[in-house]
Amino acid sequence: MKYLLDVNALVALGHLEHAHHERVARWLNMQQSSPLLTCSITELGFVRVLAQAPTYGFTVEDAKSLLQSLKDAPGFSFTLIPDELSASQLPPWVKTAGRTADGHLLQLAKAHGAVLATLDAKIPGAFVIP
């Protein structure tokens, strides 16, 4: 099974002090042979969240470096996937602006034969990391 990690799951994995780091790390340790996917949205979101939140104390360069270290870490197999989906391909359950990225990532994962892995139980059809 291939998994596209959403922004929250990627941030939780990459930041050791994140409230859900242990949860995501434990789950991924059980998925060691599963390919992990990122995309422009999730990578840019990772950098934005870490650089924007004062509690994290990261610069854009720090966040980019951490992301690359995470992608290069032994035991993980990350692949950056292309994104050619348009807004017209959002699923019908997307009714608010706040759910557009969720719907897009879900469709992107499906287009690449993967599952969207998230900490958000409100995304229909996504896998919620236990």
Domains within the chain, CATH numbers bracketed: 2-128 (3.40.50.1010)
pLDDT digits over 101-110, tens only? Answer: 999 999 999 9
Over residues 53-70, the mean pLDDT reads: 93
Over residues 9-28, the mean pLDDT reads: 94
Q: Is the pLDDT of residue 121 over 90?
A: yes
pLDDT of residue 34: 85
Alpha carbon 8 to chain centroid, angstroms: 6
Helix axes 40-52, 7-14, angle to 10 degrees: 60
Cα–Cα distance between 109 and 103 in angstroms, integer? 10
Over residues 74-87, the mean pLDDT reads: 91
Contact between 107 and 90 (Cβ < 8 Å): yes
Contact between 115 and 14 (Cβ < 8 Å): no
What 3-state DSSP class applies to 80?
strand
pLDDT digits over 83-100, tens only? Answer: 999 999 999 999 999 999
pLDDT of residue 75: 80
Q: Is the pLDDT of residue 54 over 90?
A: no
Q: Is the pLDDT of residue 27 over 80?
A: yes
pLDDT of residue 32: 74
What 3-state DSSP class applies to 18?
coil
pLDDT of residue 113: 97
pLDDT of residue 8: 96
Banded model confidence at residue 56, pLDDT cuts 50, 70, 90: confident
Q: Is the pLDDT of residue 62 over 80?
A: yes
